[in-house]
Structure 1
Amino acid sequence: VVWWLNLLSIALYLLSGSIIAVAMQRGARLPAEVAERWLL
């Protein structure tokens, strides 16, 4: 029952990586409120 947790962590890692990539492509002009919302 640990494989789904590992799969979830990989999915979150890829999702955060894609979000960071999009943010960097846009010049990292992400508002602080949106950044805090994603971190929290």
Structure 2
Amino acid sequence: MGDEKKVNFYDLFSIAYCNAANFAFHEKANILFKYLDNR
């Protein structure tokens, strides 16, 4: 049981980390595109 909980926690952590990375990337991309559009 303990190993399964460790694996599930790791999966949730990796999913949350990927979501945060994607969000940060899209935020920077949106700012960049707005900057290019306003030039």
TM range (shorter): 0.5 to 0.7
TM-score normalised by the chain length of structure 1: 0.65
Unmatched runs of 5 consecutive residues or more in structure 1: 30-40
Runs of 4+ residues deviating >6 angstroms? none
Larger-Rg structure: 2
RMSD: 1.8
Larger helix fraction of residues? 2
Alignment of 1:4-23 (within 5 A): 4-23=4-23
Higher relative contact order (CA 8 A, sep 6+): 1
How many residue pairs are counted as aligned between the two chains?
29
Residue aligning to 1:27:
27
Equivalent pairs: percent with the same residue?
A: 7
TM-score normalised by the chain length of structure 2: 0.67
